[in-house]
Amino acid sequence: MFDPFFMDKRILKIAKKIRQLRIEKGYVSNEFFAWEHNIPRVQYWRMEKGTNFTIKTFLRILDAHEMTLEDFFKDFES
C-alpha cells in the first residue's frame, strides 16, 4: 500500500546533496540560485526538499555546478 508520508531515502539523499552543493557555491538563497541559473524557483525549492524531481531540471542543476552524473553520484553507495 502506498504511504504518502513515506519518503524514499534515496531521493532525500539526492535532495540533501543538491542543497549542499548550492551552499558550497556560496548561495545562501535557493531562490537566487534558481533565478541565476534559469531554473524555475518553485521547482528548484521542491527538489531541495525531495518532493519533485525532473531529469531536465536535475541536469540543469548539474550544469550549473559543472558536474557530470558520475561526479554527482560518486559518493553514493551502489
pLDDT at 75: 87
* C-alpha–C-alpha distance, residues 54 and 51, integer Å: 10
Q: Cα–Cα–Cα angle for 1, 12, 77, nearest 5°?
A: 100
Q: What is the CATH number of the domain that holds 53?
A: 1.10.260.40
Locate 14 and state its grid cell: 539526492
pLDDT at 2: 47
pLDDT at 78: 59
Tens of pLDDT along the chain (78 residues) come to: 445 567 788 899 999 999 999 999 999 999 999 999 999 999 999 999 998 788 999 999 999 999 999 999 998 875
Tell me, yes or no, whether 40 lies in a domain.
yes
Tell me, yes or no, whether 28 lies in a domain.
yes
pLDDT at 3: 54
Tell me, yes or no, whether 36 lies in a domain.
yes
Domain encompassing residue 18: 9-72
Q: Count structural domains, the chain.
A: 1
Tell me, yes or no, whether 34 lies in a domain.
yes
Tell me, yes or no, whether 78 lies in a domain.
no
Whole-prediction pTM value? 0.84
